[in-house]
């Protein structure tokens, strides 16, 4: 099985994401597919022997959407072009809307009512054809497959209001004028499109902020490398670098690939940047590990792609290149995590899957109720109420509530050197009530600077342990050491509960015992002997400098050695989950309150007021943008 994050083009709401997800999961060879509306991606696990990416793309194209699977097709360029087109349509739509408003409000004087209505007809038609074409094209494409989404609601509401207005405008030309005494509402069809497009533009801008962490990670890798070729230095594209090549890096530059230090230059050659005599090679790895301290490098030390030469210069042998570098793996892991779904999102997905058909039925019931109760005189109100219900209930806010918060939360974690593998882990971290530490490599590290290497406690470990205890979390240590050594390190770290001479099975047994006592258990380790316990824990955390096996099993990886990031991860989990619940609450409440107001329920209680289509479109756009902006508050801490 392979797992890939594939960009999706053409989604307008949570209903679209549900449609794409359903079609992907129905394909033979696809084990699972999860579509993230906010990230515009599909996280797909599939058997490449049974189905190819191109076959997936063809199936999704038939459903009215598109997957970007071609290597020569730039997602960034597609998004830029789409944003430019959207911005153009917003500008034109606002110009037409202001022109129509000026005529309707009498700012542009037209004494002849027929000429005024016919002028508004032309303006509204131009707005539908140019600015609103995407709504109708998408709605018709989905209709052919028996599916609906937000575009269906927008297309239907604008079409109904426009056609009714056109009938009011031109029917008197063929009937007795006295038989047609209703007023047109072209403004509604124009402003619905204007506000919805404006909302999408603002939403897109805000979502770009939510995904800024990924763009920052992608921007870490340089485009070129200084390749050592005998006595010559050649500047070459990093795509040409192969394992075994020798690369020179200088102060202020970024490492282009992963590798091992082969030479630290003590004297600066001619033309070198930096590199004074006796100047050590110091790398700034803060964007990778979240730790602000720079790391001096010696012969044989690891260098990671994207880290910056803070001081000195040196040469190193390339080992991992391209998609195999630690930076590429981080980007891939963050993308997959942002594309995954938290358990709380299942509620929103179930609602979104039936939301649009339900609103269509409510809109029809609303219009029939007004018409049957009030007769022909209430026909305009029946149509206005139906249109308002269609517009106000667009499920954008509901679809954005969870994924935008997850995108920001997981991106924020990555900036702190915390790699979260999936959304479930981020949600479960907040529930941690007991945490088990492996000792060697997790709480302690080997001090090689002393005359003889010496098992030492990592900096800030006591502070990190105390911080966990202050949060009411029970802290345990498991060590393979004998009783005396285990007791010593437990005391040094400030841990009250410990076990000595622990085998892998003992660590798993402790996880199971604590779970049986009702604890939500997190396990943190770095070795192969920790993998059993990591797999059994509710949340598994691996140290980034540990074994690959431990990192593969773990749901969370700490890239640095500062254990204080564990509390950062737990706090971030709490804030992210709280933000998701806030977003979902307001998205649900928004519809619960606004749909009756749009349907005209206040009239039943003697209040001469309801939400008009124009106000409905503005509120709908505001609700989507507010959810994204609320999620962006996570970046402030």
H-helix or E-strand containing 221?
none
Q: What tokens were used for 98?
A: 């202001």
CA pair distance 19, 29, nearest whole angstrom: 18
Residue with tokens 């598994």: 540
Can you count the helices (H) and strands (E) in the chain? 21, 20
Report CA dihedral (618, 626, 398, 636) to the nearest 10 degrees.
Answer: 170
CA pair distance 195, 174, nearest whole angstrom: 35
CA pair distance 289, 408, nearest whole angstrom: 18
Question: Cα 14 from chain centroid?
Answer: 14
CA pair distance 264, 612, nearest whole angstrom: 71
| φ and ψ of 252, to 5 deg | 90, -10
How many CB atoms within 10 Å of residue 502? Answer: 22
Q: Is 438 a catalytic residue?
A: yes
Query: Residue 415: is it exposed, middle or buried by C-beta count within 10 angstroms (0-12/13-18/19+)?
Result: middle
3-state secondary structure of 606: coil
End-to-end CA distance of the chain, in Å? 38
Q: In 171-220, which ranges are continuous DSSP H helix?
A: 186-210, 212-218
Per-residue b or e along 449-481, where b marks 16 or more CB atoms closer than 10 Å to that residue's CB? eeeeeebebbeebbebbebbeeeebbbbbbbbb
Q: What tokens were used for 404?
A: 């935008």
Q: Judge whether 252 and 273 are in contact, CB under 8 Å.
A: yes
Contacts of 436 (CB under 8 A, 6+ apart): 476, 477, 478, 507, 510, 511, 514, 521, 522, 523, 524, 533, 537
- Listed in order, strand segments (DSSP E) in 305-452 are 308-311, 313-318, 418-420, 434-438
Catalytic one among 151, 349, 438, 568?
438
Per-residue b or e along 219-240, where b marks 16 or more CB atoms closer than 10 Å to that residue's CB? ebbbeebbbbeeeebeebebee
At CB < 8 A and 24+ separation, what contacts does 130-133 make? 130/89, 130/92, 131/89, 131/90, 131/92, 131/93, 131/96, 131/193, 131/194, 131/197, 132/158, 132/193
| φ and ψ of 317, to 5 deg | -90, 125
Residue with tokens 């031109």: 170
Q: Judge whether 36 and 338 are in contact, CB under 8 Å.
A: yes
| Length of the chain, in residues | 637
Q: Judge whether 11 and 40 are in contact, CB under 8 Å.
A: yes
Catalytic residue positions, numbered: 438
């Amino acid at each position: 099985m392979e797992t890939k994050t594939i960009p999706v083009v053409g989604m307008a709401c949570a209903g679209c994401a549900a449609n794409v997800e359903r079609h992907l999961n129905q394909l033979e060879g696809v084990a699972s597919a999860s579509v993230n509306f906010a990230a515009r991606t599909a996280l797909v696990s599939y058997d490449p022997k049974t189905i190819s990416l191109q076959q997936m793309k063809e199936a999704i194209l038939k459903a009215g959407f598109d997957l970007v699977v071609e290597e020569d097709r730039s997602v960034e360029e597609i998004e830029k072009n789409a944003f430019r087109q959207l911005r153009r349509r917003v500008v034109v739509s606002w110009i037409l809307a202001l022109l129509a408003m000026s005529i309707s409000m009498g700012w542009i004087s037209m004494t002849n009512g027929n000429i005024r209505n016919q002028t508004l007809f032309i303006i509204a038609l131009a707005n539908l054809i140019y600015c609103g074409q995407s709504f109708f094209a998408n709605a018709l494409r989905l209709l052919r497959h028996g599916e609906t989404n937000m575009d269906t609601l927008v297309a239907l509401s604008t079409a109904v209001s426009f056609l009714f207005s056109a009938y009011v405008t031109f029917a008197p030309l063929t009937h007795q004028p006295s038989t047609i005494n209703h007023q047109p509402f072209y403004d509604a069809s124009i402003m619905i499109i204007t506000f919805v497009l404006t909302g999408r533009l603002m939403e897109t801008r805000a979502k770009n902020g939510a995904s800024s962490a990924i763009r920052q990670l992608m921007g870490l890798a340089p485009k070129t490398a200084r390749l050592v070729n005998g006595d010559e230095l050649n500047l070459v594209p990093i795509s040409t670098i192969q394992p075994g090549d020798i690369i020179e890096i200088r102060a202020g530059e970024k490492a282009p690939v992963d590798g091992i230090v082969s030479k630290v230059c003590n004297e600066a050659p001619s033309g070198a940047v930096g590199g004074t005599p006796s100047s050590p090679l110091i790398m700034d790895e803060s964007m990778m590990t979240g730790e602000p301290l720079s790391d001096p490098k010696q012969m044989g030390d690891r260098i990671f792609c994207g880290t910056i030469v803070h001081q000195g210069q040196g040469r190193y042998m390339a080992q991992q290149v391209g998609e195999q570098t630690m930076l590429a793996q981080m980007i891939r892991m963050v993308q997959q995590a942002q594309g995954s779904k938290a358990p709380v999102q299942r509620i929103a997905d179930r609602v979104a899957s039936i939301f649009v058909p339900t609103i269509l039925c409510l809109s029809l019931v609303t219009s029939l109720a007004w018409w049957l109760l009030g007769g022909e005189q209430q026909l305009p109100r029946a149509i206005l109420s139906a249109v308002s219900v269609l517009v106000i209930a667009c499920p954008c806010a509901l679809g954005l509530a969870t994924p935008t918060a997850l995108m920001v939360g997981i991106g924020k974690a990555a900036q702190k050197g915390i790699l979260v593998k999936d959304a479930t882990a981020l949600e479960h971290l907040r529930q941690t009530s007991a945490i088990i530490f492996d000792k060697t490599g997790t709480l302690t590290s080997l001090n090689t600077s002393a005359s003889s290497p010496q098992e030492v406690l990592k900096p800030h470990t006591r502070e990190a342990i105390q911080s966990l205890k202050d949060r009411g979390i029970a802290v345990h240590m498991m060590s393979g050491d004998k009783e005396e050594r285990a007791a010593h390190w437990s005391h040094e770290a400030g841990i009250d509960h410990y076990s000595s001479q622990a085998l892998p099975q003992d660590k798993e047994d402790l996880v199971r015992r604590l779970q049986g006592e009702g604890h939500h258990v997190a396990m943190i380790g770095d070795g192969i002997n920790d993998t059993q316990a990591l797999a059994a824990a509710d949340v598994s955390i691996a140290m980034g400098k540990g074994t690959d096996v431990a990192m593969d099993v773990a749901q969370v990886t700490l890239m640095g050695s500062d254990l204080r990031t564990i509390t950062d991860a737990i706090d971030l989990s709490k804030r992210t989950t709280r933000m998701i619940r806030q977003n979902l609450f307001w998205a649900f409440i928004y519809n619960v309150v606004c749909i009756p107001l749009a349907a005209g329920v206040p009239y039943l209680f003697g209040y001469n007021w309801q939400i008009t289509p124009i106000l409905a479109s503005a509120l709908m756009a505001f609700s989507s943008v507010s959810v994204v902006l609320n999620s962006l508050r996570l970046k402030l801490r």
